[in-house]
Structure 1
Amino acid sequence: MEPLFPAKWWEREGDAVRCLLCPRTCLIRDGKLGFCLVRKNVGGRLFSTNYGIVSVSTIDNIEKKPIFHFLPGSKLYSVGSFGCNLRCLYCQNYPLVEGGFEAAPCRCLQPVDLVSEAISRGADGIAWTFNEPIVWSEYVIETSRLARSEGLYCMLNTNGYVMDRPLGELLEVVDAIKVDIKGFSNRFYNEVCGGLLEPVLETCKAASDKGIHIEIAYPVVKGMNDSPVEIGRFCEWVRLNLGPDTPVHFIMVHSFHRLASHAEIRFEDLEKIRLYAVQTGLNYVYVGGTTKTLAQNTCCPGCGELLISRTGDADAERVYFKDQQVSRFCPTRSDVRVMLRGRSCPNCGRAISIRTKSDLKG
C-alpha cells in the first residue's frame, strides 16, 4: 500500500484537483498521478505519495553537488526519494524519476529519524538531491526546519522548476541552493527537458534576492546548448541578474539514457566554454562531470593565487539503486584544501565570495 500524506499547494477544479507546486499545474483526476508521479488525487484531495520515502542516502562532500563557495570541505548527508517534474533525455538518475517506491527496497523515515541519522553519521548538513526535491517539498520543508534547529545546514540540488508560493517556503528553510540551468532557450527546455526556461530563471533570482547562497550548473550537451550565442546569453544573464561573483559550473553531459548514442562534448571544448565565460566577466567558473581538469580549483580573480584546491577521486564510494549507480557522473572531491585568509586572498587581499559557518541562519 502506498503512503499518503496531505499535499500543499493545490485547489479543486470540477471533479479534479489542480496541483500548484510547479509550473506544470497538472490537472489530476481522481485516482491519477501528476506528471511527477508522486502527487495523487484520492477522493478529490491531493496527496504526496513519497513523504518520508528515502530511496538513496549517503555521506559525501558538499563539492560533489557541486557547491564550491559554501563551507568548503564540509560533509553532507545526501538523501533522495522518487519523482521529478522534468524529463531530461540525459538524466543520470532516471530510475529515481521514472520508477517508484514499489519498484525497489526503500525506507520510510520521519523527519526526526532522518535528522538523527545525519547527526549520528557526522554530517554538517543535509542535501536534498538525487531526484528532484521540489516534488518532495512537504517533507523537505519539515525536515529542514528540524535539521537547522539541531545545528545542521540544508541545501537544495534542484532544477528550479517551482511556483512562487512553495519556493518561498523552501527558501525559508535552506541555506544554499544549486540550480541547474539546463540550457538558455525554451526550444532546448521543451525538446530535451520537457519544460520552460523562464520559471527556472525566476527561481534563481528569488533565491539570490533573499540572500540564499546560490551556485549555477549548466549541463553542456554537445551541439544542442553549447553555441557561442547561447552560452554568451547565459553568462550575461548570470552576471546581470545574480552577480559576477556567482559560481558557475559547466558540466559535461555524458552519453546516457535517451542520449546514449549522442556524442559527448570534448573536454577541450568544455574548457574553451569556461574561458569564454571568464572573459564575459564571471569571476568563478568551473568545469564538472570529469576528474581530468584543474578547473575545479578556486583562484583569486584579481591576482590568480590558488585559494581552494580540490582533488577529484574517481574511486570514491559508489551509491546504487536497483543495481544502477546513482549520480555516476558527479566526481567526489576527496581532498579539499582552503588557503584563504579569512575571506580574503592571502596574496593581494581581495575579498573572495565565500560563505562560512558564521553566515548560517539560526
Structure 2
Amino acid sequence: MRDHVGTVPGRYFSAQADGRIRCEICPRYCQLNDGQRGLCFIRKREGAQIVLTSYGRSSGFCIDPIEKKPLNHFYPGTPVLSFGTAGCNLTCKFCQNHDMSKSREMDTLADAAPPRMLAETAQSMGCTSMAYTYNDPVIFLEYAVDTAIACHEVGVKNVAVTAGYICADPRAEFYRHMDAANVDLKAFTEDFYRKVTGSALEPVKETLDYLVNETDVWVEITTLLIPDENDSEAEIEAMTQWVIETLGPDVPMHFTAFHPDFRMLDKERTPPGSLFRARSIALKNGIRHAYVGNINHKAAQSTYCSGCGAMVIGRDWHMLSDWHLDHRGCCTFCETPLPGRFSGPPGAWGRRRERVRMSREREAR
C-alpha cells in the first residue's frame, strides 16, 4: 500500500524486438518509445518500464446514490463515493465525461487522495461503497487496486464502472478486488465499436463472460442507445439473446438515453420510445430485469419479482418509493429471491449528490 501521489511503476508490459515496450493493460497494446504516453495518456514509458503518472490524483469526488452508477440490485438506496482520474483507453465520439476522460492536461487532476485517505473518507461519510468511474478505471489499475484493498480493510465495498476493455491478466487482478461492476456494452457490432469508440466488441464480451461465469462480482450492463447507430431492433435482439445464452437471465440490463455531446452534436436525443422498445425486447427474450435510464418513468425503472410479478423495489429517478424484500432479499409476497446484493432494509440516501473535498469538507450540490 502506497501513501503516494504522482508516478509509480506500472504492471503488465513487455519489451519488443524493435526496442519499444508494449503496454498490456488493454487490447490496444500501445507500443512506446522512451518518453511516449499511451493513448490513455496516464500510462507512460520511462526507461525500461511503463509507469502510471496519476497515482493518488483525481479529477474530483462526489457522493452519489448507487442507482446513479447505475446499479439497481446492489445495496439499493445507499451512498457511493465516486471518483476518477484523467484520460481513457477508448475514443468514444459521444463521451459524456470528455472534460475528464479526454483531458491531456495533468492539471485536470486537481485533488490529491492516496488510497488510505480515500477509504477513510468513504467510511467517515457513511458510504457503503467506492465507485471507480468518470473515466475507465482499468487505466489506473495500480491506484484502483490499492484503493480497493484499503476500502475493504475499513468495510467499504468497491464498484467498477467500466467499458470492460481490458486484457486477461490485468482483468483477473482488477476484479479480484471489486464487489460489483456496471459494464458498458456500448453496442453489439464490431463496426460500431471500431468507428465510434476506437475499440473492439469481442474483448468486452470476454470481460462480461469472465465476470458473470468465473467471479463473484455482481454485474449489471448499460447500453446508451444512440439514434440510428446502435438502436435497431435487430441489434437489440442479438445483444439480449447473447446475454441470455452466455450470462443468463439474472444480469440486469439498463437502456439509457443519449443526449448530444462531444463529437456527436448532430445526433438527436434518444426518443423514449426507443428505450421502451429495447426494454420490451430484453424482457421478451428472457431478461428478468430490464430498465430505462436518463428519463423518469417509475414503471420502467422499478424492480419486479420474477416469481409473482409484484413490484418489489419502486423507483422515482434515484429515489426508492416501494420496498417489498425481506432481510434475505426475497419477495415478501412469494419468497422468490431477487438476484443481487442486499442487506436488510434499504438505504435512505435518496437522490442527493454531494461534492467532496479531501480536506473532509463537503460542498452540497
- TM-score (normalised: structure 1): 0.90
Pick the aligned partner of 2:304 from 287, 291, 299. 299
Rounded Cα–Cα distance in structure 2 between residues aligned with 1:304 and 1:247: 16
Rounded Cα–Cα distance in structure 2 between residues aligned with 1:131 and 1:169: 19
| 3-state SS of 1:116 partner | helix
What is the Cα deviation at residue 9 of structure 1? 0.4
Count of residues paired in the alignment:
337
- Which stretches in structure 2 are left out of the alignment for 5+ residues? 345-365
Rounded Cα–Cα distance in structure 1 between residues aligned with 2:286 and 2:253: 12
Rounded Cα–Cα distance in structure 2 between residues aligned with 1:288 and 1:24: 30
Rounded Cα–Cα distance in structure 2 between residues aligned with 1:222 and 1:87: 19
What does 1:203-282 correspond to in 2, within 5 Å?
203-209=207-213, 210-282=215-287
Pick the aligned partner of 1:355 from 332, 338, 341. 341
Deviations 1:284-331 (A, max 9, x none): 00001222453111012233211001222xxxxxxxxxxxxxxxxxxx
Match of 2:95?
A: 91
Asked whether 1:338 is paired with 2:338, we answer: no
What is the Cα deviation at residue 113 of structure 1? 1.0
| 3-state SS of 2:260 partner | coil
Asked whether 1:9 is paired with 2:12, we answer: yes
| 3-state SS of 2:301 partner | coil
Which residue identity lines up with residue 261 of structure 1 in the other structure? D
Asked whether 1:135 is paired with 2:136, we answer: no
How large is the Cα RMSD of the aligned pairs? 1.6
Task: Summarize the Cα distance change of 1:45–1:354 in structure 2 as closer, same or farther, 3 Å threshold.
Answer: closer
Match of 1:27?
A: 31
Maintained 8 Å contact 1:15/1:44: no
| 3-state SS of 2:211 partner | helix
Maintained 8 Å contact 1:93/1:131: yes
Rounded Cα–Cα distance in structure 2 between residues aligned with 1:219 and 1:293: 19
What is the Cα deviation at residue 214 of structure 1? 0.4
Task: Summarize the Cα distance change of 1:104–1:85 in structure 2 as closer, same or farther, 3 Å threshold.
Answer: closer
What is the Cα deviation at residue 115 of structure 1? 0.9
- Which stretches in structure 1 are left out of the alignment for 5+ residues? 313-332
Deviations 1:308-359 (A, max 9, x none): 01222xxxxxxxxxxxxxxxxxxxx13454321332222233222121249x
| 3-state SS of 2:62 partner | strand
Tell which deviates more after alignment, 38-47 or 336-345: 336-345
Rounded Cα–Cα distance in structure 2 between residues aligned with 1:8 and 1:215: 28
What does 1:11-90 correspond to in 2, within 5 Å?
11-13=14-16, 14-90=18-94
Rounded Cα–Cα distance in structure 2 between residues aligned with 1:42 and 1:290: 46
Pick the aligned partner of 1:168 from 172, 176, 180. 172
What is the Cα deviation at residue 101 of structure 1? 4.8
| 3-state SS of 1:309 partner | strand
- What is the identity percentage for the equivalent residue pairs of Structure 1 and Structure 2? 33
- TM-score (normalised: structure 2): 0.89
Deviations 1:254-274 (A, max 9, x none): 111111111222102211111
Rounded Cα–Cα distance in structure 2 between residues aligned with 1:43 and 1:86: 25
Which residue identity lines up with residue 50 of structure 1 in the other structure? S
Rounded Cα–Cα distance in structure 2 between residues aligned with 1:63 and 1:356: 14
Deviations 1:171-206 (A, max 9, x none): 111100110000001001001111100000110111
Tell which deviates more after alignment, 44-53 or 137-146: 44-53
